[in-house]
Amino acid sequence: MIFPLFLTLQASWLTVCQATQHYPATWGHYDLCKSQGYTEEGLTWYYMACQPEAADMTKYLKVTLDPPNITCGDPPETYCTLENPYMCNNECDAATDELAHPPELMFDIVGRNPTTFWQSTSWKKYPKPLAVNITLSWNKTIELTDDIVITFESGRPEQMVLEKSLDYGRSWQPYQFYATDCLDAFTMEPKTMKDITQHTLLDIICTEEYSRGYVWKNDKTVRFEIRDRFALFAGPKLHNMASLYGQLDTTKNLRDFFTITDLRIRLLRPATGATMVDENNLSRYYYAISDIKVHGRCKCNLHANSCIYDKEKLTCECEHNTTGPDCGRCKRNFQARAWSAGSYLPIPKGTANICMANYAGPVTRVCDSELLRCQNGGVCVNYVRCQCPPAYTGLLCEKPRCEKEPGGCGGSDSGQASLHPPSLILLLLLGGVFLTEICWITVL
């Protein structure tokens, strides 16, 4: 009976090991906060760093425009194309659904036919600048994990700035400048990602790469390259994520560089397609955006592996006795040592840096009211021990007390060795611990 059980367990180990071998090359590597193990005293928790999976963060943002009346359609307006000033059959009317272009169309389903997009009013007040601020707010700290991509339906702007905030829009700092002529627009030498090194990764650059005015097939997007910056440490195909994790832990300000609460797209000058503005046909000049991509994850300081969206708000589901929107402080009665963020190091499991209970003397984290509950009617006392009913014992009241009696719980009527249910559970738990270690060894 025991031998087939071991064969089943061994097969399960092989299956799970194969499934976990992809972890080191992905950002979902730190997706477990704790695992159960068994010591001489009984069941216990082993803690590790953890973080939510990356996702499309445009599902959770709020968008605002400045000036607020900059969207086309009120009053209705007819637009000409940039390539052909005599083709003027594009109408924008906010009162008609099929002709309206509100800001939420920057984040709707990609691939619709015809394409949906937000559109600004035309440059009818020239020579006053046609300037628009598009602000994306999450009311939550976000860590970027992929390129920011803005797809224009109009020509790409001749001047634009991408900015970030780390304090919910109270202050802003530039991420990157974009222009057809960086020296003329921002008094900056033009650069591209090829000019960025590990030592200059935090530098703010101006690039001319994404500012050509006409809309060619592959010339609609403006990018802020996140993956190329990761690749400076993790290699061209991001195979060496351990190196990147180490840099994020040890290089000052590097983790903050990829962290935001808000993004702001400052559109400063629309595409003109020429050196001179055609003042007789200003309906050629406007902004139109069909899609914005922002891929990232909730920042939980490596203390949570999930982030919930409830009542239009993102919140980390904190572990390690931490609390707060970003798991940025210790829970009440768990401040025996100062809070600190989790650590990616040592690879591969990281360091949890859990908050400690406020009790004198050595403390073991044993039970709680959420995940690690006392079993068989036991009651958790001050998070330190389970108060067990008379028939059970063990750290979590998982052991029938009769196991310690002569003959065990099954009596002494049989001379054959038997595997009682509690022992079976213990075997499976031990197998889980061995499985975890074997898988990590296999991966490394």
Rg of the chain over CA atoms, in angstroms? 29
- The encoded tokens of residue 217 equal 């097939």
Cis amide prior to 127 (ω within 30 degrees): yes
In a domain, 88, yes or no: yes
What average pLDDT does the chain have? Answer: 83
3-state helix, strand, coil in the chain (%, to 5): 20, 25, 55
User: Contact 147/227 with Cβ under 8 angstroms?
Assistant: yes
Place of tokens 């390539």: 83
Specify burial of residue 186 (Cβ count, 10 A radius: 0-12, 13-18, 19+). middle
Find the domain containing 283 and state its range. Answer: 55-298
In a domain, 178, yes or no: yes
In a domain, 152, yes or no: yes
Give the residue among 315, 332, 344 at the shortest CA–CA distance from 250.
344
Place of tokens 């939420």: 104
Q: Residues 6 or more apart from 156 whose CB is under 8 A from it? A: 210, 211, 212, 213, 215, 219, 220, 222, 271
Around Cβ 184, how many Cβ atoms within 10 Å?
Answer: 10
In a domain, 156, yes or no: yes
Q: Is residue 436 scored above 60 in pLDDT?
A: no
How much is the pLDDT for 235? 94
Q: What is the pLDDT of residues 338-371, one digit of tens each?
A: 999 999 999 888 999 999 888 655 545 777 655 6
> How far apart are the C-alpha atoms of 51 and 145, rounded to whole Å?
12
Collapsed DSSP state (helix, strand, coil) of residue 318: coil
> How far apart are the C-alpha atoms of 96 and 404, rounded to whole Å?
79
In a domain, 223, yes or no: yes
Give the residue among 275, 168, 261, 162 at the shortest CA–CA distance from 210.
162
> How far apart are the C-alpha atoms of 289 and 103, rounded to whole Å?
9
How much is the pLDDT for 430? 39
- The encoded tokens of residue 219 equal 């010339």
Residue type, 349: K
User: Contact 176/211 with Cβ under 8 angstroms?
Assistant: no
> How far apart are the C-alpha atoms of 411 and 417, rounded to whole Å?
12
Longest dimension (CA), the chain: 105
Please work out, in degrees rounded to the nearest 5, the angle formed at the alpha carbon of residue 257 by the alpha carbons of 155 and 110: 40
Beta strands in 185-248 (DSSP E): 206-207, 221-224
Q: Residues 6 or more apart from 201 whose CB is under 8 A from it? A: 229, 232, 254, 257
Mean pLDDT comparison of 174-183, 271-280, 358-367, 384-393, highest-scoring range: 174-183
Interior/surface letters 322-344, b for 16+ CB within 10 angstroms, e for the rest: bbbbbbbbbbeebeeeebebbbb
- The encoded tokens of residue 127 equal 């020579």
- CA 312 vs CA 60, 61, 309, 315, 375: distances in Å: 7, 9, 6, 10, 36
pTM of the predicted model over 0.85: no
User: Contact 130/123 with Cβ under 8 angstroms?
Assistant: yes
Q: What is the pLDDT of residues 179-225, one digit of tens each?
A: 999 999 999 999 999 999 999 999 999 999 999 755 555 578 999 99
Q: Is residue 424 scored above 80 in pLDDT?
A: no
- Helix (H) or strand (E) holding 47, with range, is strand 42-47
How much is the pLDDT for 411? 56
Q: Is residue 113 scored above 70 in pLDDT?
A: no
- The encoded tokens of residue 97 equal 């659904």
How much is the pLDDT for 325? 93
Query: What are residue 266's DSSP bridge partners?
Result: 133, 161
Residue type, 368: D
Phi, psi dihedral angles at 47 (to 5 degrees):
-100, 150
In a domain, 42, yes or no: no
Phi, psi dihedral angles at 303 (to 5 degrees):
-120, 10
User: Contact 79/88 with Cβ under 8 angstroms?
Assistant: yes
Q: Residues 6 or more apart from 423 whose CB is under 8 A from it? A: none
In a domain, 266, yes or no: yes
**Mean pLDDT, residues 212-240:** 85
- Domain containing residue 63: CATH number: 2.60.120.260
| pLDDT greater at residue 382 or residue 165 | 165
In a domain, 182, yes or no: yes
- The encoded tokens of residue 54 equal 């990356």
Total residues belonging to the chain? 444
Total structural domains within the chain: 1
Residue type, 252: K
